[in-house]
Amino acid sequence: MTGNIANDRRIVTAGFWRRHAVWPLIVSLAIFALFSATDLDRQFALDWAWDATAGHFIARDSFLANTIVHRGGRIVIWIAGLTCLIGWGLNARRGDRDLRRAFGFSFCALALAILVAGGLKQITNVDCPWDLQGFGGPRPYVHLFADRPNDLPRAQCYPAAHSASGFALFALYFGFLNTHRKFARLALALALVTGTLFGLAQQARGAHFLSHDLSSALLAWFVCLGLYWRVQWPIKS
């Protein structure tokens, strides 16, 4: 981008909103309806993540899932955030203005998506699979968004914060979308792969259901999209 930002600003096309907002919203509603009305969450976990013979989740004691993906994944996201912050700092005064805005936006969107997911976990009161009957725990299974019995202890497992941190890399997609399209597409793929990997590892440990991770992906997407819209960045044709 060159010149004054106000002069460069273009109207975001209807096609952009169809691809980035309308279709994801339709997918969100379909996912919520599906998991609320069916037993897909529990059945999916039983089919691939639960070892009925051993009586525990397949990655309960896995070094790969517990140490490499779970703990190591946090470090990766911290590095991504730090890289964005450094990139912004290096371009803060006399550097490339496009890069300054891209790195600055990416850092803010990344942090916001993670904070929103972590905050929602504190209030949604949804159980982790490993706490439920049929998966080695004492609590009854309650469908997503169904009324939860008042006598059950509070739970903090929805949405999935770990996979949300991976999907929060959507921030890089929106951050570089206007000026570095090829990198933005790579960042989109990176976010999808990282979030999915984090989510599957947590499901294999018994920490989350499939719906928790899908919800985290949609949450991270809409947080980043919302910040993108609020900042009103111009779209390059």
pLDDT in tens, 189-201: 999 999 999 999 9
Instruction: Look at residue 114 in the predicted model and tell me its pLDDT.
Output: 98
Handedness of CA 92, 78, 116, 232 (dihedral sign): positive
**In whole angstroms, what is the distance from residue 185 CA to residue 205 CA?**
30
Mean pLDDT of the region 39-65 = 95
Instruction: Look at residue 12 in the predicted model and tell me its pLDDT.
Output: 64
For residue 92, the one-letter residue type is A
For residue 203, which of 41, 36, 30 has the smallest C-alpha distance?
41
More confident call, 56 vs 2: 56
Structure tokens belonging to residue 75? 């470090």
Domain boundaries, the chain: 12-143+153-231
More confident call, 13 vs 206: 206
Res. 3: pLDDT tops 70: no
Computed over every residue of the chain, the mean pLDDT equals: 91
Mean pLDDT of the region 207-211 = 96
Residue with tokens 């609320």: 36
Instruction: Look at residue 139 in the predicted model and tell me its pLDDT.
Output: 96
Give residue-wise pLDDT tens across range 96-125.
889 999 999 999 999 999 999 999 999 999
Mean pLDDT of the region 136-140 = 95
Kindly indicate the confidence band of residue 186, based on its pLDDT and cuts at 50, 70 and 90: very high
Mean pLDDT of the region 165-186 = 96
Res. 1: pLDDT tops 60: no
Structure tokens belonging to residue 114? 């993670």
Mean pLDDT of the region 27-43 = 92
Structure tokens belonging to residue 6? 């106000």
Query: What pTM, to 2 d.p., does this model score?
Result: 0.91
**In whole angstroms, what is the distance from residue 27 CA to residue 21 CA?**
10
Instruction: Look at residue 4 in the predicted model and tell me its pLDDT.
Output: 42
Residues 4, 6, 8, 10, Cα dihedral to 10°: 170
Structure tokens belonging to residue 200? 């599957």
Name the 3-class secondary structure at 58: coil
